Structure 1
Amino acid sequence: MALVDYGASSSSSSEDEGSSNTALTEILGTLKRPALPTAAALLGPKKPKPEEFVDDVVDDPALHGGRIRSFKHERGNWATYVYVPASACAEQLEEFQAEAIAHLDPEVKLQANESLHLSLSRTVVLQYHQIDEFSRSLQTALNSSTGFTATLQGLRIYTNEERTRTFVSAPLDAAFAEKMAAILQPIDQVMLDYRLQQFYNPASFHVSLLWCVGDEEELLNSKLKELQELLEDQDTLSLGVHEVHLKCGKKDFTYKLR
């Protein structure tokens, strides 16, 4: 069938074309499809990002007792450290914490460390995709490490590197320093393999018990004898070194020692 009548005049052709267009528009109008559903209707509301991919966080020291981050919290960065939990003597240490806070108030506003542990690394930063591989490396490195039971002895005052916080800590009894150093060595090697900072040299093994904002080393050293007397009321502070933990953000991995 011919689509165009080439014998018609230009005037009649234009009129016919106008009539055809109008009819075509009416037909298409009756056949118009309903609007497609939106992506939100099909998939539901947009899910929030997993915690490891959330946008940058603005640090507010008022939300965590005045503490200031050592490094900026950025998307994908996970604060990471290796430690031994001080669970065997936790109850005794918590009693001391309460007594010490009351004893030094209002001269200095001490706060109790919630996580009582002996650190075996600095706090470093891992990317999310590195965590599992790093954990496996640490497990392999610690496979031949042997556990033991140690004790904490006395008190010592520390500050962080930025001198923005001061700590009252219970050092590891010097008699066990060599055994602890043997566990630290493979951990330091893993840090080196990942181009991360190794532990402090010389190593000073201790459990941080109390802290305050600012550099109060001189003041707390002047109160050290009084605090020592409070601690002496406690029995021997036993530290079971039978497992090592890796803390990455909210993730916690445990490695049993031989």
Structure 2
Amino acid sequence: MFPDPDIQHLDDVSKHGGRVRSFRHERGHWASYVYAVFHPREEFREMLEELQSAARKHGVTLTKMEEFHISLSQTVILRHHWINPFVQSLKDRLCFVSRFLCVADRLKVYVNEEKTRTFLGMEVMTGHQQLLEVVSEVDKSLQEFNLETFYQNPSFHVSLAWCVGEVTEPLQGACLLELQKVVDEFEDSDVLTRFYADEIRCKCGNQVWSVPLR
């Protein structure tokens, strides 16, 4: 079970808000990743709108994420006939993992490897060790298929919004301090930024598999 060597990272411009595709699409090959689900309350989206407004004052236009999650793997390529065995491997390894509390209340700026998008995220502090343990199991499943494992010393986070290109400098300093103040002073922010990781998902192309935690 070896990935094809001709699968390459590409920077072809897509037509989705100026975003850039990371992988060439090939028949029978599916871009896939593993993540923990975060279901935000309606008030969380109101807080995010305030963050967008504050960022605009510093010349940064942020686009809200369509969904919110914590990545537990890099994006890898699975052949079609690998998908079911890979998902089953995840289920076998995670079936004894209990759900756990996560608190993500510290804002941080992230850039993808291709430096084509910049993200505003909330870093997970409480729950970090449990996420490392989940990643350890996910990595074992990836290694079964000779796929790349997750980053060393990861910063687990929930991406909130993004913009095209590398724009870390405008988001840092005074801007980031003001954004953090929005979170800290938002009513019930201590409730909105905490949640239980009770489900791990694997997305392959447009298909999603769920692995509930105990």
What range is the shorter-chain TM-score in?
A: 0.7 to 0.9
**Hey, what's the Cα distance between the residues in 2 that align with 1:135 and 1:90?**
29
2:204 corresponding residue in structure 1: 248
Q: TM-score, normalised by structure 2?
A: 0.87
Q: How far is the alpha carbon of 1:90 from its aligned partner?
A: 4.2
Q: How far is the alpha carbon of 1:176 from its aligned partner?
A: 2.0
2:139 corresponding residue in structure 1: 188
Sequence identity, in percent? Answer: 37
Whichever structure has more helix as a proportion of its residues is 1
Deviations 1:57-98 (A, max 9, x none): xx652x2111101111222221111111111x3434322222
Q: Structure 2 unaligned runs (5+)? A: 1-11
1:77 corresponding residue in structure 2: 29
**Hey, what's the Cα distance between the residues in 1 that align with 2:52 and 2:38?**
20
Residue number among 197, 201, 204 corresponding to 2:155 in the alignment:
204
Q: Secondary structure at the match of 2:147?
A: coil
2:6 corresponding residue in structure 1: none
Do 1:145 and 1:182's aligned partners in 2 also have CA atoms closer than 8 Å?
Answer: no
Write out the 4+ residue segments of structure 1 that deviate beyond 6 Å after TM superposition: none
2:4 corresponding residue in structure 1: none
Residue number among 75, 83, 96 corresponding to 1:144 in the alignment:
96
Amino acid corresponding to residue 16 of structure 2 in structure 1:
H
Aligned ranges for residues 43-192 of structure 1 at < 5 Å?
Answer: 60-61=13-14, 63-87=15-39, 89-105=40-56, 107-173=59-125, 175-192=126-143
2:182 corresponding residue in structure 1: 230
Q: Secondary structure at the match of 1:64?
A: coil
Q: TM-score, normalised by structure 1?
A: 0.72
Q: How far is the alpha carbon of 1:168 from its aligned partner?
A: 0.4
**Hey, what's the Cα distance between the residues in 1 that align with 2:179 and 2:128?**
23
Whichever structure has more strand as a proportion of its residues is 2
Deviations 1:10-50 (A, max 9, x none): xxxxxxxxxxxxxxxxxxxxxxxxxxxxxxxxxxxxxxxxx
Q: Structure 1 unaligned runs (5+)? A: 1-58
1:46 corresponding residue in structure 2: none
**Hey, what's the Cα distance between the residues in 1 that align with 2:44 and 2:17?**
21
Aligned ranges for residues 215-226 of structure 1 at < 5 Å?
Answer: 215-222=166-173, 223-226=175-178
Do 1:90 and 1:116's aligned partners in 2 also have CA atoms closer than 8 Å?
Answer: no
- Judged with a 3 Å threshold, the aligned counterparts in structure 2 of structure 1 residues 90 and 195 are, in CA distance, closer, same or farther, namely farther
| Number of residue equivalences | 197
